[in-house]
Amino acid sequence: MARTGSEPAFPTVDVSKFFESFKIPGLEMNGVMDGQRKTVQAMIEAQRIAAEAYQGVFRRQVELAQEAMEDLTAAMKEVMSQDSPSDAATKHLEFVRKSIESSFANLREIAEMTTGAHTEAFKVMQARIGETAGKAVKEAKEAPAPKAANTTQARAAS
């Protein structure tokens, strides 16, 4: 059946109501849903951090490309203005050396920027995982011990 356009592509479902029908002793669904909500929020925050950082990396790469083109233009003018071929070759080799050094410095800068972004995003998720693990350990310690099965009654029934 074709959609009319006024209805949502995906129906709105209250997942917490759906899971209320699955009662598991000792498991509080509101707590589970709250934990999942916090995990999704942490993932969104980590993605926001990464996206902002990558925008910064892209802007810096554009700046570096512009600087490289300006340097190339200036170097070519200087090489072409030399009186002798040996002076032109010397200037050209000097430009090549500076370009290589600059390229390595730029690569290092970009690598540090991306590493920083990954580290920040990872810290957000690491904090959420630590919170989840801490809560799980606490709840496991507070949970009542499972009732031991009465093996005598089970044998008598068989």
d(CA 28, CA 24): 8
Give residue 148's pLDDT.
59
For residue range 128-139, what is the model confidence (pLDDT) as tens digits? 999 988 887 887
- With beta carbons less than 8 A apart as the criterion, state whether 79 and 92 touch: yes
Q: In angstroms, how far is CA 45 from the centroid of its own chain?
A: 9
14, amino acid identity: D
For residue range 21-79, what is the model confidence (pLDDT) as tens digits? 666 666 666 777 888 889 999 999 999 999 999 999 999 999 999 999 999 999 999 99
Domain limits, the chain = 28-133
For residue range 80-97, what is the model confidence (pLDDT) as tens digits? 999 999 999 999 999 999
Q: Using a cut of 0.75, tell me whether the model's pTM lies above it.
A: no
Burial class (CB in 10 A: 0-12, 13-18, 19+), 92: middle
Tell me what the mean pLDDT of segment 142-158 comes to.
59
Give residue 145's pLDDT.
67
